[in-house]
Amino acid sequence: MSSHLVRNPGIPLDLEWVGRTRVNLPAVKRRADTLKTRRSVKKQWQAAWLLRAVTCIDLTTLSGDDTATNVSRLCFKAQNPVRKDLLESMGMADKGITTGAICVYPSRVPDAVKTLENLNSKVPIASVAAGFPAGQTPLKQRLEEIETAVASGATEIDIVISRAFVLEGNWEALYNEVQAMRKACEEAHLKTIIATGELGSLTNVYKASLVSMMAGSDFIKTSTGKESVNATFPVALVMVRAVRDYYQQTGHKVGFKPAGGIRSAKDALTWLSLMKEELGDDWTHPDLFRIGASSLLGDIERQLFHFVTGSYITYMIYNVTVYFDPKAVMSNLDQDNPVKLTDVVFSIVAFACTTTQGIQCLMYDRGSQEIHRSTIAICAGCLLALVVLTVLSLFGILGSWFVVLQYCGYVKFIVSFGTYSPQVWLNFKRKSTEGFHIGGVLLDFGGGVLSLLQMDLYCFIEHSNNQLTGNIPKMALAVSTLLFNIILIWQHYVFYLGNEHRSSDSEKEPLLRGERSNEFYTVNVHAEDGDYIVISFQDSEEESTTQRAAGSQESLV
């Protein structure tokens, strides 16, 4: 933690404050539900926010087989959590990005100190102590464990409380226990693990959080990561409201750390958004916010890689590669290249347009719509096949990259069936095209005709049929597009012309059935939005505009 952070000195135990607290369960549930269904960080700022999330991670190894080597690797990763080339691509290579801390058992603290000193690193060293994870050892022994960790060089101590004190309502005993542990920490910061999954109720979670802060905890933490229930949004809301109430009453800032069950970059963004909304910008920095999820770092790094490199559509890979390296598919370089500049431009523009649509699908409300399992399976199968073909080409089994590149082109041809088939089937089932916009189909039809015409013209100019036989994916795509377009045009202007759709229950059925085919969802557009918060991040760092509806600040406790 930063040296400028003023520690929480604690306050005398206020049993009257603790006793009058009750949690508003319906309000907590409503607020928690909004966190699961909305995107809170604009796409263009996600990379910056993911880097912020990296700086808030407590990189942890707490295994029975931990060795000095394991701990050293952990320290190296904490000092260099993101690949250097990715940071350079984002202009962040000189920003000194590290994780928030490393966390090890007390016996491994000396190993961490030695490695970090060799790296000239200032990454804080946290250690779990005080009978982690159950907290069932005698208090004297737990205090000695804390003192040992601090003496070895730990700058943060993650302690566990005696859950029995909470379940019995013995708040004075809990206060005294945490206060004794804070004293044992000396200058090291105290992070108190509430173990929310074992406290019985959200009211107990709030009271345990409040008492721990009164006793001088610098951080409160949801769980050890070993319980059956770890960090959840309802629990987090109750705890951060306790942090906010304590700050408003005393002026002392206390940090918050969710731990357990946070595995994806999307989860990290949601937790950062929650902290910003509930507590403010100060709680989006490692001084006051940490994430206990070591596996999260790998997913964040993958998402940063996608942000920097983008994901290339297979058809674009085919066109770009063959255009700039025709020998990849042509044995006779005297022949004219079957892929022209117009093909490259088309695939790039198409990729940009579909990417924009994909981002809109992710950003905007989708209601109950989900990606069907068959779609996921087909995409996964196509990707797996590409990987297999690539590996075979790398080892020379296929002889050349021709098959791989042709496959990339054919994938687009296959995907076109999935693009058009659902609409053809829906029109047939409804015996109507009411509500269907024919404009896009007419444009596609025109493009397909012109594409075939272009190929014929090149064949005439070059006195070769290489345009037809050398660029099979393009020809197949043009033909399939034309066939589907003709079907849709005939449905619209001939078969079902003037037919009005008859409303029926089938209107609510998904085009492809899945496990949720019998679940219907409706949206009342006139409903009050008082339980929702819309947050728009204006830049990657501090500025934000938060629009809060009237009911978004309803009391949770």
DSSP secondary structure string, 397-443? SSSSSHHHHHHHHHHHHHHHHHHHHHHHHHHHHHT--TT---HHHHH
**Of 20-29, 166-175, 265-274, 295-304, where does mean pLDDT reach its minimum?**
295-304
Tell me, yes or no, whether 66 lies in a domain: yes
pLDDT at 549: 34
Q: Flag the least confident range among 198-207, 229-238, 320-329.
A: 320-329
For the question of residue 444 being annotated catalytic, the response is no
| Residue 134: inside a domain | yes
- Mark whether 170 and 203 lie in a shared domain: yes
Residue at 350 is within a domain = yes
- Are residue 359 and residue 284 in the same domain, yes or no? no
What is the torsional sign of CA 323, 328, 333, 338? negative
d(CA 121, CA 390): 40
505 part of a folded domain: no
Torsion of CA 448, 450, 452, 457, to 10 degrees: -170
| Whether residues 298 and 333 fall in one domain | no
The verdict on 202 and 170 lying in the same domain is yes
Quick check: 530 and 551 in contact, CB under 8 A? Answer: yes
Residue 257 confidence class, pLDDT cut points 50, 70, 90: very high
Q: Which two structure tokens, joined as six digits, stand for 421?
A: 């088939």
pLDDT at residue number 435: 63
Per-residue pLDDT at 351 exceeds 50? yes
Query: Which of the following is catalytic: 191, 207, 253, 257?
Result: 257
Report if residue 528 sits inside a domain.
Answer: no
pLDDT digits (tens, 9 = 90+) for 503-534: 444 333 332 333 333 332 222 333 333 332 22
Q: Same domain, yes or no, for 217 and 336?
A: no
pLDDT at 43 over 70: no
Question: Between the CA of residue 359 and those of 43, 52, 183, 354, 356, what are the distances in Å?
Answer: 8, 22, 51, 9, 5
Regarding whether 328 and 303 lie in a shared domain, the answer is no
Q: How far is CA 311 from CA 129, 348, 351, 410, 487, in A?
A: 44, 12, 9, 18, 32
More confident residue, 233 or 468: 233
Residue 347 CA from chain centroid, whole number: 28
Under 8 Å between Cβ of 427 and 488: yes
pLDDT confidence of residue 336: 55
User: Could you tell me the CA-to-CA distances from 256 to 4, 35, 177, 231, 525 in Å, in that order?
Assistant: 18, 17, 20, 11, 37
CB proximity list for 313: less than 8 A, separation 6 or greater: 347, 350, 351, 354, 412
- The contacts of residue 75 (CB under 8 Å, 6+ apart) are 102, 112, 115, 116, 119, 121, 123
Average pLDDT value over all residues in the chain: 76
Give the other-Cβ count within 10 Å of 488's Cβ.
22
Structure confidence at residue 6 (pLDDT): 67
Instruction: Say if CB 215 and CB 191 are below 8 A apart.
Output: no
Contact 55, 100 (CB under 8 A): yes
Q: Are residues 54 and 158 in the same domain?
A: yes
Q: Determine the pLDDT at residue 538.
A: 32
Q: Are strands 544-548 and 533-537 parallel, antiparallel or unpaired?
A: antiparallel
pLDDT at position 38: 57
221 is an active site residue: yes
Same domain, 352 and 461: yes
Specify the pLDDT at position 330: 46
Instruction: Let me know: does 146 contact 183? Beta carbons within 8 Å.
Output: no
The set of residues, in sequence order, having a beta carbon less than 8 Å from that of 5 and lying 6+ positions away, is 189, 287, 288
User: In this structure, what CATH number is given to the domain that contains residue 198?
Assistant: 3.20.20.70
What pLDDT band is residue 14 in, cutting at 50, 70 and 90?
very high
Which of 52-56, 130-134, 224-228, 372-376 shows the lowest mean pLDDT across its residues? 372-376
Amino acid identity of 389?
L
Distances (CA, A) of 194 to 165, 247, 267, 506: 11, 18, 21, 50
Q: What percent of the chain has pLDDT over 70?
A: 68
Crossing angle, helix 265-278 and helix 296-309, to 10 degrees? 100
- Greater pLDDT, 324 or 178: 178
Q: Are residues 201 and 347 in the same domain?
A: no
Of 124, 68, 71, 69, nearest to 98 by C-alpha is: 124
Instruction: Looking at 90-201, list the stretches that DSSP marks H as alpha helix, in order from N- to C-terminal side.
Output: 109-118, 139-152, 163-167, 171-185
CA distances from 144 to 130, 191, 348 (A): 8, 17, 64
CA nearest 303: which of 50, 3, 117? 50
pLDDT of residue 164: 94
Q: Tell which wins on pLDDT, 367 or 248.
A: 248
Least confident of 82-96, 385-399, 401-415: 401-415
Give 45's DSSP letter: G
The amino acid at 122? K
Determine, yes or no, domain membership for 74.
yes
Is 5 part of any domain?
A: no
| Helices and strands per DSSP (H, E), number in the chain | 20, 9
Query: Which is catalytic among the residues 111, 158, 299, 444?
Result: 158
Q: Output phi, psi for 339, to 5 deg.
A: -100, 125
CB 323 within 8 A of CB 344: yes
Report d(CA 177, CA 165) in Å as an integer.
10
Question: Does residue 321 sit in the same domain as residue 341?
Answer: yes
Q: How confident is the model at residue 389 (pLDDT cuts 50, 70, 90)?
A: confident
Cβ(373)–Cβ(513) below 8 Å? no
* Residues 302 and 396 occupy one common structural domain: no
Using the 8-state DSSP alphabet, how is residue 254 labeled?
-
pTM: 0.58
How many domains in the chain? Answer: 2
- Same domain? For 275 and 421 the reply is no
Q: How confident is the model at residue 408 (pLDDT cuts 50, 70, 90)?
A: low
Residue 512 domain-assigned?
Answer: no
* Unique residue bearing structure tokens 């003709």: 486
**Residues 299-308: pLDDT tens digits?**
787 777 656 5
Distance (Å, whole) CA 127 – CA 8? 19
How far apart are the C-alpha atoms of 40 and 55, rounded to whole Å?
19
Q: Which domain holds residue 444?
A: 317-365+372-495
Relative to beta strand 255-257, strand 58-60 is: unpaired
Choice among 221, 253, 276, 412 that is catalytic: 221
For 469-495, write each residue's pLDDT tens digit: 666 666 777 788 788 889 989 988 888
What sections of 188-313 are H helices per DSSP? 202-214, 233-250, 265-278, 296-309
Instruction: Provide the sign of the torsion angle of the four alpha carbons 11, 13, 14, 17, taken in this order.
Output: positive
